Structure 1
Amino acid sequence: MNKALLTIILALMAVSAHSQHALPNIEAHTITSDILSADRDVLIYLPSGYDVHKDKHYPTLYIMDGQWYFYNGVAIQKTLRGELLLPEMIIVGINMPRPERDSIYSYHWDEFRHFIRNEVVSFVDAKYRTSAERLLFGWESSAALVTSLLFDDGSVFKGAIATNGTYITPEMTDAMARQTQGSKKHLYIANTIKDIYNIDASNQSVAVLTQSNLPDLVWEYRLFDSEIHESLAYVSIYEGLKFYYRNFASLAFSSIDEFNAFGGIPEIRNYFIRRGDQFGLSTDVDSNTKNSLIWLAWRRDNFKAFQLFMTEFSEVLSTRRYASAYWQNRFGQFYLKHKDFDNSIHYFTQGINLYPDDEYMALMYSGLATAYQHKGNMKQARINYKQAVKAAEKNNDPKLELYRSQLNGVK
């Protein structure tokens, strides 16, 4: 079980420990359906910022079998730390308890499809601030349902996650090929070889997709063979959302070689332009990507890349992230290490002036003195070594004797 799944399950357990009425941002509704001639219960989760950002409209994830998987979708949202990987979403759980669930798939398939598409979506859109970005999740028999809804002519859904079985025929793909799509649709299919009940249905559907010409359908089939029929749903919701939003996240790289292979700064800028166009976001490179690249160059001790990122993304240096003596000292020490004494002096001086009482004061004075010493300005070197000693004495700094020896070494 991977760490992401473990985090989700732990959060899910915490969420489920409370009643739905004790949880904030979750509302229960009953929809009286003319199509089904019956009432259906739905649960709706609203993002934490819903009541704050009054003008914001949110994508919606419709979860079939909400009685089992609604809180899993909520847990994924609850564990988001900002919108770095996935956006905030409205989660709709459609309850399908047995024995009604079995009856739906045996006798009322078409009616239930129309109920979801026409009545549930209309109810949610009328009551909440939704965007046109609607996704579906279905497990087992519901996987076939969500695939059918995605393939419908004039479908209001942009993506579907179908796990542990689905049902796609050549007739369905041929019909979809004849449709005029306004934008691409996405389908994520997941299963495990241990799902002896439905693996054949998944494989057959994938075989049909492989033989079809559907340029407006982006799809993927993944096997999670460490999971079983009953456990895969928890993994596939998260992985399916990551698949749909694979162009949404901030960029992160493990090495400068990977950054270069990606296409460097030009391709990073293109990525955010495409991302902005697809999801209605800013087309500027986001601060998280800028920060991670600066950090990467520093951690990999690649001074050439560090200079590039500090120049290209200089605007991020004035944000709150770097508003501390800690960061001013870190930059100063890195420039000092690589003998860029002018930039080193700049950051040490900036840190000393902005944060005069910080614990890094002695270290910054010492670094500033060392930079001046390398530039041959012994007067400024001695002045700043004295300040380092003074600050170290004030703060009982364990490096006090080092600073005294540095001062004594300046003639």
Structure 2
Amino acid sequence: MTIKKLCIFFSICYFCTNIYAQTVNNLGVNYTIHSKSLNEDRQIQVFVPESYKTTDKKYPVLYILDGQRLFPFGVSLLKSNTHFQLTPEFIIVGITNKYPDRFGHFIDIEKRFLKFIEEEVISYIDNSYRTSDKRILFGWEYGGSFVVQTMMDKPDLFDAYLAASPFPLDNKIEELDNFLSNNPRINNMLYFSVSPYENQVNIGTKKLDSLLKLKAPKTLNWNYKELENEEHLSTPYSTIYFGLKKFYGYYPELQFNSLEEFTKAGGLNYVNEYYKKRALDYGFSSNLSDWTMFSLTRNAIRAKDYNQFDIFINEFKETGFLERIRINRSCLIAEYYLENKQYDKSIEIFSLLADKYPNSELPLIGLGDNYKSLLNNKKASMYYRKAEKLFKNKSN
């Protein structure tokens, strides 16, 4: 037996002697681990994404402290995010911390608890599942303080550190100051947030925010958010959502809520750079997505800014996106040309759609509306009759 095979064999034997129970349910698999670091039995929960069984790719892992409460939310968020393509798929690991022991785990024996996570939980997950080298750690309250401490103790263990209402932090500010001075090239992500109404918690987070503004290296991707509509018990949910959104910032198709937001971001130069970065990070095409091109055009329509609308269409038309997007969206664009008396452009698009969708009455009605505006009642009537006939045939 080779040395490599022996290592694998002894590794399997080690885990078999320490993981002695598991149950499967709709939220994945529950494991009971006997932790040598803590000298006690520990429960963890594992959920793999939908594609895990049908692919051979490796997945990032999100580790959630207080899994007994927050693991189900993580699973729900994963399903929602991947359905709407807001983040890539990832594995979720919930680490159970029961009351009142959790306070001691995160404060009194935090070094031992971190050893348990690094040497027993992460090792088991990496040996049992197809994991990539990307890891995220989330914690709330005392668990949030533990997350910040973990970043200082093991900055390379996780790529992103997400902390909701981290407490206590006052006693860590001096250590954090030294840590930042001694790690000028740290390139992790730190995301921490709090409700504005958490009193003692706010004192610590504001001190951390002030320290980071003064001392954080440019390579540290950090963000502090006050969650105006949350309270102490609800900050974990918003923090996981916004933290993942921040970490996977270049993953979604780009969308702006208004032309003002688009202009403030940097206009088309920003949009093009975003898609280059998206392609580099996740392997997508560097071309703008159809949704981005349509949503930008729709923002111009909603703002009644014809000049910007026409700029977008001229910029995007050669990509063929008008033929690929949903017919009602293409019709909206053609209708806006009609509204602005640009009949030739409107007719061109409606004619293209009529050829592409011969069983839809929408382009025919649009052509009828154009010719009616041009006082060509004969042609208008012809298209209206065709649309009416199609509608009646579908009704029957």
Q: Shorter-chain-normalised TM-score: which range?
A: 0.7 to 0.9
Change in 2 beyond 3 A, CA 1:88/1:352: same
Q: Spell out, residue by residue over 1:68-116, the C-alpha distance to the aligned partner (whole angstroms, 9 max, x if none).
A: 1111222222333645433333221101113432442454321111221
Q: Spell out, residue by residue over 1:335-370, the C-alpha distance to the aligned partner (whole angstroms, 9 max, x if none).
A: 333333333232222233333332336513414534
Change in 2 beyond 3 A, CA 1:245/1:31: same
Paired residue for 1:260? 263
- Measured in 2, the distance between the counterparts of 1:152 and 1:319 equals 54
- The one-letter amino acid paired with 2:388 is A
Deviation at 1:43, TM superposition (A): 0.8
- Measured in 1, the distance between the counterparts of 2:355 and 2:223 equals 55
Deviation at 1:166, TM superposition (A): 4.6
- Measured in 2, the distance between the counterparts of 1:312 and 1:286 equals 13
Contact 1:348 1:365 in 2 (8 A): yes
- Measured in 1, the distance between the counterparts of 2:141 and 2:260 equals 42
- Measured in 1, the distance between the counterparts of 2:266 and 2:168 equals 38
Secondary structure, counterpart of 1:309 in structure 2: helix
Deviation at 1:132, TM superposition (A): 2.4
Residue among 151, 154, 175 paired with 1:171:
175
Deviation at 1:195, TM superposition (A): 2.6
Paired residue for 1:289? 292
- Measured in 2, the distance between the counterparts of 1:47 and 1:349 equals 44
Change in 2 beyond 3 A, CA 1:28/1:328: same
Contact 2:147 2:163 in 1 (8 A): yes
Contact 2:136 2:160 in 1 (8 A): yes
The correspondence of residues 328-347 of structure 1 with structure 2, limited to 5 A, is 328-347=330-349
Paired residue for 2:142? 141
Give identity over the alignment, percent: 28
- Measured in 1, the distance between the counterparts of 2:78 and 2:353 equals 38
Change in 2 beyond 3 A, CA 1:352/1:220: closer
Contact 1:362 1:392 in 2 (8 A): no
Paired residue for 2:13? none
Q: In the alignment, does 2:385 pair up with 1:389?
A: yes
Contact 2:184 2:217 in 1 (8 A): no
Residue among 230, 243, 248 paired with 1:245:
248
Contact 1:332 1:367 in 2 (8 A): no
Deviation at 1:67, TM superposition (A): 0.9
- The one-letter amino acid paired with 1:171 is E
Paired residue for 2:39? 37
Paired residue for 2:126? 125
What TM-score, normalized to structure 1?
0.77
- Measured in 2, the distance between the counterparts of 1:327 and 1:145 equals 49
Secondary structure, counterpart of 1:382 in structure 2: helix
Runs of 4+ in 1 over 6 A off after TM superposition: none
Residue among 194, 205, 208 paired with 2:197:
194
Q: Spell out, residue by residue over 1:358-391, the C-alpha distance to the aligned partner (whole angstroms, 9 max, x if none).
A: 23365134145347x47xxx6xx73453342354
- The one-letter amino acid paired with 2:201 is N
Q: Spell out, residue by residue over 1:31-70, the C-alpha distance to the aligned partner (whole angstroms, 9 max, x if none).
A: 3433333332111122233334x14433221111111111
Secondary structure, counterpart of 1:301 in structure 2: coil
Contact 1:104 1:112 in 2 (8 A): yes
Q: Give the paired residue count.
A: 367
What TM-score, normalized to structure 2?
0.80
Using the TM superposition, name which of 191-200 and 152-161 deviates more. Answer: 191-200
Contact 2:191 2:222 in 1 (8 A): yes
Secondary structure, counterpart of 1:252 in structure 2: coil
The correspondence of residues 151-162 of structure 1 with structure 2, limited to 5 A, is 151-153=152-154, 155-162=156-163
The correspondence of residues 315-354 of structure 1 with structure 2, limited to 5 A, is 315=319, 317=321, 320-322=324-326, 324=327, 326-354=328-356
Unmatched runs of 5 consecutive residues or more in structure 1:
1-19, 398-411
Deviation at 1:319, TM superposition (A): 6.0
Paired residue for 1:269? 272
- Measured in 2, the distance between the counterparts of 1:40 and 1:320 equals 52
- The one-letter amino acid paired with 1:357 is N
- Measured in 2, the distance between the counterparts of 1:35 and 1:362 equals 73
RMSD: 3.1
- Measured in 1, the distance between the counterparts of 2:284 and 2:131 equals 16
Unmatched runs of 5 consecutive residues or more in structure 2:
1-22
